[in-house]
A and B are shown apart, each in its own frame.
Chain A
Amino acid sequence: MAKQKKAPRVNLKQIEKIITGYRGQKWPLIPMVEEIQEKVGYIPPESIPVIAGALGLFPSQVQAVITFYEQLYTEPRGKNIVRVCRGTACHVRGGKTILKLVKRHLGVDEGETTDDMEYTLETVACIGVCALAPNIMINKDAYGNMNPKKVARLFERSGKE
């Protein structure tokens, strides 16, 4: 697999085009940034002043809105979101070790994205299937009773796809 540079060049042209589509609309900030995130994958910080300029807002105001919503990101995100549970049940059953292993497999820290943009690693507090602890979620699927072997298999398998 070709190694990609971590911070891809931001295509401001594409973003500007999206922004133009909202000309004349009332309160277009949220739909606009959602569309940018959808098409670009995240909301590049470089685009904040451009968005602000188009809407007659201050960049700091735009940032305030983006950082307020959990679903809006200002950093590029991988194709797959891996969430390791660090809730109490998972914790007492080795969740910490699982996290360490996942980190080693992916080669990234919490909150980071792999260079090939495949995975973003996050942690969550209890995903609600404590009986199967320790748990991992990849995108919308939960994987229970994790152990080192399973972790290895999980990432080998999805890595090959």
Chain B
Amino acid sequence: MEAVTITLNGVEVSGYAGTTILDLARESGVYIPTLCYDPNLASTGACRLCLVEDERSGALHASCVTPIAPGMTVNTNSPRVVEHRKKILELMLASHPDICLVCDKGNRCQLRKLAAEMGIGLVTLQRIPQNDVIEEVNPFIERDLSKCIMCGKCIRVDQELVVEGAIDYMDRGTMAKPATLNDMPLEKSECTFCGACVAICPTGALMEKDRIYTGTATNVVTTVCPYCGCGCTICLGIKDGKIIEARPAVDSPVNRGALCVRGNYGYDFINSPQRLRQPLIKVDGELQEATWEEALARVADGFGRIKNENKADALAVFGSSKCTNEENYLLQRFARGVLGTNNIDNGSRLYSAASRTGLGASIGYAGTTGSLDALERSKVIMVIGANPEISAPVVAYAIKRAVRFKGAELIVIDPRDTPLTQFASLWLRPGVGTDVALLNGLARVIIDEKRLDVEFVTRMTDNYAGWAKSLQNYTPGHVEKVTGISKKNLQAAARLLAGAEEASIVYGNGITQHVTGTGAVAAIANLAMLTGNTGRRGGIFALQRENNAHGACDMGALPGFLAGYQSVDDAQNRQRFEERWGCSLPAEAGLSALEMMEAAREGKVKGMLIMGENPVASFPQPALVKKALSSLDFLVVTDMFPTETVKFASVVLPAASFAEKEGTFTNFEGRVQRLHQALEPVGDSLPDVEVLFRLAEIMGSPMPYASHQEVMEEIEEMVPFYRHVAYADTDSMGMDWGDVESNSLGTRRLHKGLFPSGFGRFSPVEYTPPVDVSTDGYPFTLMVGSSRYHFGAGSRSSRSFRLSRFSPTAFLEINGVDAADLGIGDSDTVKVTSAQGELSTTAKVSKTLPQGLLFMPISFPDSPVYELFNTVLDPQAKAPALKSCAVRLERTAGDG
């Protein structure tokens, strides 16, 4: 590109043609005040505050929208510029209430800051009366449009960045204001309370509501959201040792100035009065407070005794997809090196094991193949079995941006109407559990119509012929019979996908949590390979539910693998770790999560350590889990809260929250990001790393790390694809994505279309009729999933003051016709019964569900939906089917 040289405040500088004056000035370290400009949004030049003068022509330009031109002589601070700027600001202040001193925006208010900078005090212009605070009941956002300066940033961020479309201008002239459709309160609009508009509003017009602590932050700590697998970077504003607000990091490559309601408002669980502050020991059936010394001695004694009296395999360890990489790494070292067992697994077994197994076998790498950028660049995006708007909001933002602003076409495959369907050019609604047939059908059409990427398939893959033969039965006619998708739509989808220069496939728990999950994932990989979309172009995007599901597995919190997916039954692998740790390691693969519970029920496993998981709420058949846990001789749980699982513990160790510790999380893209400690742990609680250090020491096998840094260094050394990650850099934004592509991290991904093993492998997958859908006596198929305002098993979100207040109870969604047939009205109490169990909840008539399908959120500890589920395991992934089950329904009481 051509370089253009201009004179900027007397100095010659050059930039690429097309660069704006503002961008070049910022690059050159010259300050120009702005109000309506934002690096993540298209510039509109609305406020004119960024005026500069071209001294040759005397013209005034809004620098944020004016590209540099050869020979420009820009003065950013000429007397004319200053005079104009002042006038603009005075006009804005004229219609602004004089209440800066009591406004909570405080020193984050750009308007006030600029006024101070320019020495504008009392405004002499006549005041223009303005609108007032809008009455709203939501606990998240407060709008006082009397402070609005009509910069339009909230509207642009809502439409361009998070693409929700909740607000736009309304009316004209002096009546104009940002408003929702029909000027309703936010809670009655499309607003998802992502908070992006609040973060970007330069004045106090949009403010965070119901803060527990008020005031102005004196310190900002940049860290990573603890909820979903997107791994947004959040900035926590701290004052007097308390978090007073959370804001999105503007420069994060993941979330770019946006978060979702959980990240923005849900962090307040750390202030919950229910936090565990002291270790607890069970004495005569009661948990009583104890010191760390007493508690740890008890743990060492308990595990030691069981190990001596039985074999080490009578012990089991359950790690957490919510804990850091370092915690999980040390936990597997503790399990293998100190306790001497491979009985270790982590919570992600329940929702992403199918991904690991299915993708591992096909493309040789157990995760997402590309970055969010690659997703947004795609020309066609297919979303199957995922509702990213809820489960991975930042992914949904990227998809919607691709559709709205980059001309991508979207195919949504989902029986439910999700927020993405309105963006889709094609929406297919297959029967629940028929995805494999559909995916095979798509592949068959692509092959029959010769639309496959022949070069890629020949050069980069294996077993094509064998697999193609296995598709013989999947004619469009047959597929239509099985899935309900017409031949026409099947072909249309296949043509779109195969015809795109770059296509991406996004899938989530709707795929992985069915019994046939592993097969369906392999079928997705087949389709991606067939069309040559495996990372060099497009890619496979496996959403992960929890913040560190990826990391927990990478770190070896798995029964069959040491850190870095190094198989435990390979002596060479073991030897590396044995040498590093100076101990011998067990050779036989251990028990997976559900197998551990079964072994506990059978009395084979007698002692268990659970770090940060709540299996009583997250596993199918809580009754069986409870039975397993109460059969144990000795159970140790580390957690932040007295969860349903904690009640069964012999010793409870209070854990620090994400804001109270250091470490790294790995997001769904495989990006390793660093946490920064913002607060001291509450009470006597400790980060799990510290707990493991102390425990290993008391048990006579100290782990010789002097600091967190050393743990990370060892991870870098022992896990090849974690080389060059977070601790090497000093800045807080995680590693540079450029490094990932150029350094050895590239070997774990499929960048430039390279498979780790050189070849991708097509694997035939047969469709088997689903067992987790309606049957005789149970005429409905119940699907379960996350809800926007809650998360996972709900142990944190139900303790978030604002999230739980906004959405306090569980509900059952039902199609209107089904509801009418059963005489069920909105808010009636209903009883849901499956072959396994029953529960009571409130009905909510919904427009998004087809007949025969019900939906219930999983994250409400008081309505444990998993009571209804069986423990049918996906044979390959050893994960239970937790997406759907067959139920019947009856109304038990009216809306009382």
Indicate with 1 or 0, residue by residue over B166-178, a CB within 8 angstroms of chain A CB atoms.
Answer: 1111111000000
A67 lies within 8 A of B166 (CB): no
Given contacts A45-B182, A48-B181, A53-B422, contact A60 B172 (CB under 8 A): no
Q: Tell me, in angstroms, the Cα distance from A15 to B170 when the chains sit together.
A: 23
The one of A48, A53, A59, A67 that contacts B171, using a Cβ cutoff of 8 Å: A67
Given contacts A45-B182, A53-B422, A58-B159, contact A63 B165 (CB under 8 A): no
A59 lies within 8 A of B172 (CB): no
Identify the interface centre among B167, B172, B180, B181: most chain A CB within 10 Å of its CB. Answer: B181
Indicate with 1 or 0, residue by residue over A40-67, a CB within 8 angstroms of chain B CB atoms.
Answer: 0000010011000100111111011001
- B180 / chain A contacts, CB cutoff of 8 Å: 60
Q: Tell me, in angstroms, the Cα distance from A68 to B173 when the chains sit together.
A: 9
A68 lies within 8 A of B172 (CB): yes
Indicate with 1 or 0, residue by residue over B417-447, a CB within 8 angstroms of chain A CB atoms.
Answer: 0000010000000000000000000000000
Closest-by-CB residue of B relative to A61 is B168
Q: Tell me, in angstroms, the Cα distance from A56 to B159 when the chains sit together.
A: 12
In chain B between 162 and 218, which residues have their CB closer than 8 angstroms to a CB of chain A?
164-172, 179-182, 189-190
A67 lies within 8 A of B181 (CB): no
Q: Is A70 at the interface (CB under 8 A from chain B)?
A: yes
B167 lies within 8 A of A60 (CB): yes
- B189 / chain A contacts, CB cutoff of 8 Å: 60
Q: Which 3 A-B pairs have the closest CB atoms?
A: A58-B165, A64-B168, A60-B168
Q: Is chain A's interface secondary structure helix, strand, loop, or mixed overall?
A: helix
A64 lies within 8 A of B165 (CB): no
Known: A59-B165, A67-B170; 5 extra A-B contacts, CB below 8 A, are: A53-B422, A60-B165, A60-B167, A61-B159, A68-B171
- The number of A-B residue pairs with CB atoms under 8 Å apart is 44
Closest Cβ of chain A: how far from B44's Cβ, in Å? 14
Sampled A-B contacts (10; CB under 8 Å): A48-B181, A53-B422, A57-B165, A58-B164, A60-B165, A60-B181, A60-B190, A63-B168, A63-B182, A68-B169
A64 lies within 8 A of B170 (CB): yes
The one of B164, B170, B172 that contacts A63, using a Cβ cutoff of 8 Å: B170
Closest Cβ of chain B: how far from A72's Cβ, in Å? 11
Closest Cβ of chain B: how far from A136's Cβ, in Å? 24
Q: Tell me, in angstroms, the Cα distance from A64 to B152 when the chains sit together.
A: 12
Closest Cβ of chain A: how far from B854's Cβ, in Å? 26
Closest Cβ of chain B: how far from A143's Cβ, in Å? 28
Closest Cβ of chain B: how far from A57's Cβ, in Å? 8
Given contacts A48-B181, A63-B181, A63-B182, contact A58 B170 (CB under 8 A): no
Q: Tell me, in angstroms, the Cα distance from A67 to B183 when the chains sit together.
A: 11
- B172 / chain A contacts, CB cutoff of 8 Å: 67-70
Identify the interface centre among B166, B168, B169, B171: most chain A CB within 10 Å of its CB. Answer: B168
Indicate with 1 or 0, residue by residue over B146-164, a CB within 8 angstroms of chain A CB atoms.
Answer: 0000000000000100001
> Which residues of A are interface residues toward B (Cβ below 8 A)?
45, 48-49, 53, 56-61, 63-64, 67-70
- A63 / chain B contacts, CB cutoff of 8 Å: 168, 170, 179, 181-182
Closest Cβ of chain B: how far from A130's Cβ, in Å? 23
Identify the interface centre among A45, A48, A64: most chain B CB within 10 Å of its CB. Answer: A64
Closest Cβ of chain A: how far from B160's Cβ, in Å? 11
- A60 / chain B contacts, CB cutoff of 8 Å: 165-168, 179-181, 189-190
- A45 / chain B contacts, CB cutoff of 8 Å: 182
- B181 / chain A contacts, CB cutoff of 8 Å: 48-49, 59-60, 63
- A57 / chain B contacts, CB cutoff of 8 Å: 165
Identify the interface centre among B169, B179, B180, B189: most chain A CB within 10 Å of its CB. Answer: B169
B169 lies within 8 A of A58 (CB): no
Closest Cβ of chain B: how far from A75's Cβ, in Å? 12
Q: Tell me, in angstroms, the Cα distance from A76 to B189 when the chains sit together.
A: 24
The one of A48, A53, A56, A64 that contacts B169, using a Cβ cutoff of 8 Å: A64
Q: Tell me, in angstroms, the Cα distance from A65 to B404 when the chains sit together.
A: 18
Q: Tell me, in angstroms, the Cα distance from A142 to B170 when the chains sit together.
A: 31
Closest Cβ of chain A: how far from B732's Cβ, in Å? 35
A58 lies within 8 A of B182 (CB): no
Closest Cβ of chain A: how far from B368's Cβ, in Å? 28
- A69 / chain B contacts, CB cutoff of 8 Å: 172
Closest-by-CB residue of A relative to B166 is A60
Closest Cβ of chain B: how far from A48's Cβ, in Å? 7
- A68 / chain B contacts, CB cutoff of 8 Å: 169, 171-172
In chain B between 374 and 412, which residues have their CB closer than 8 angstroms to a CB of chain A?
404
- B168 / chain A contacts, CB cutoff of 8 Å: 58, 60-61, 63-64
Q: Tell me, in angstroms, the Cα distance from A53 to B172 when the chains sit together.
A: 24
Closest-by-CB residue of B relative to A66 is B170
Closest Cβ of chain A: how far from B173's Cβ, in Å? 9
- B182 / chain A contacts, CB cutoff of 8 Å: 45, 63
B170 lies within 8 A of A61 (CB): no
Closest-by-CB residue of B relative to A63 is B181
Closest-by-CB residue of B relative to A70 is B172
Closest Cβ of chain B: how far from A20's Cβ, in Å? 18
Closest-by-CB residue of A relative to B170 is A67
Closest Cβ of chain B: how far from A115's Cβ, in Å? 23
Closest Cβ of chain A: how far from B828's Cβ, in Å? 28
The one of A48, A56, A58 that contacts B190, using a Cβ cutoff of 8 Å: A58
Closest Cβ of chain A: how far from B154's Cβ, in Å? 12
Closest-by-CB residue of A relative to B167 is A60
Closest Cβ of chain A: how far from B302's Cβ, in Å? 59
Closest Cβ of chain B: how far from A66's Cβ, in Å? 9
Closest Cβ of chain B: how far from A50's Cβ, in Å? 12
- A59 / chain B contacts, CB cutoff of 8 Å: 165, 181, 190
Closest-by-CB residue of B relative to A58 is B165
Closest Cβ of chain A: how far from B57's Cβ, in Å? 33
Identify the interface centre among A56, A60, A68: most chain B CB within 10 Å of its CB. Answer: A60
Closest Cβ of chain A: how far from B294's Cβ, in Å? 59
Q: Tell me, in angstroms, the Cα distance from A68 to B179 when the chains sit together.
A: 13
Q: Tell me, in angstroms, the Cα distance from A64 to B165 when the chains sit together.
A: 11
Q: Tell me, in angstroms, the Cα distance from A91 to B484 when the chains sit together.
A: 70
Q: Tell me, in angstroms, the Cα distance from A59 to B181 when the chains sit together.
A: 7
Closest-by-CB residue of A relative to B175 is A67
Closest Cβ of chain A: how far from B153's Cβ, in Å? 15
Closest-by-CB residue of B relative to A56 is B404
Q: Tell me, in angstroms, the Cα distance from A64 to B167 when the chains sit together.
A: 9
Closest Cβ of chain A: how far from B426's Cβ, in Å? 14
Q: Tell me, in angstroms, the Cα distance from A141 to B705 when the chains sit together.
A: 91
Q: Tell me, in angstroms, the Cα distance from A63 to B159 when the chains sit together.
A: 14
Q: Tell me, in angstroms, the Cα distance from A53 to B424 when the chains sit together.
A: 11
Q: Tell me, in angstroms, the Cα distance from A39 to B172 when the chains sit together.
A: 25
Q: Tell me, in angstroms, the Cα distance from A90 to B283 when the chains sit together.
A: 89
- A61 / chain B contacts, CB cutoff of 8 Å: 159, 165, 168
- A70 / chain B contacts, CB cutoff of 8 Å: 172
Closest Cβ of chain B: how far from A69's Cβ, in Å? 8
Closest Cβ of chain B: how far from A51's Cβ, in Å? 12
Q: Tell me, in angstroms, the Cα distance from A63 to B182 when the chains sit together.
A: 8
Q: Tell me, in angstroms, the Cα distance from A56 to B163 when the chains sit together.
A: 12
Q: Tell me, in angstroms, the Cα distance from A48 to B166 when the chains sit together.
A: 13
- B422 / chain A contacts, CB cutoff of 8 Å: 53
Identify the interface centre among A56, A57, A67: most chain B CB within 10 Å of its CB. Answer: A67
- B190 / chain A contacts, CB cutoff of 8 Å: 58-60
Q: Tell me, in angstroms, the Cα distance from A23 to B169 when the chains sit together.
A: 26
Q: Tell me, in angstroms, the Cα distance from A49 to B181 when the chains sit together.
A: 9
Q: Tell me, in angstroms, the Cα distance from A92 to B264 when the chains sit together.
A: 56
In chain B between 219 and 242, which residues have their CB closer than 8 angstroms to a CB of chain A?
none
Q: Tell me, in angstroms, the Cα distance from A70 to B173 when the chains sit together.
A: 11
Q: Tell me, in angstroms, the Cα distance from A49 to B166 when the chains sit together.
A: 12
Q: Tell me, in angstroms, the Cα distance from A61 to B169 when the chains sit together.
A: 8
Q: Tell me, in angstroms, the Cα distance from A67 to B172 when the chains sit together.
A: 7
Closest Cβ of chain B: how far from A40's Cβ, in Å? 18
Closest Cβ of chain A: how far from B427's Cβ, in Å? 13
Closest Cβ of chain B: how far from A12's Cβ, in Å? 16
- A64 / chain B contacts, CB cutoff of 8 Å: 168-170
Closest-by-CB residue of A relative to B182 is A45
Q: Tell me, in angstroms, the Cα distance from A13 to B172 when the chains sit together.
A: 30
- A48 / chain B contacts, CB cutoff of 8 Å: 181
- A56 / chain B contacts, CB cutoff of 8 Å: 404
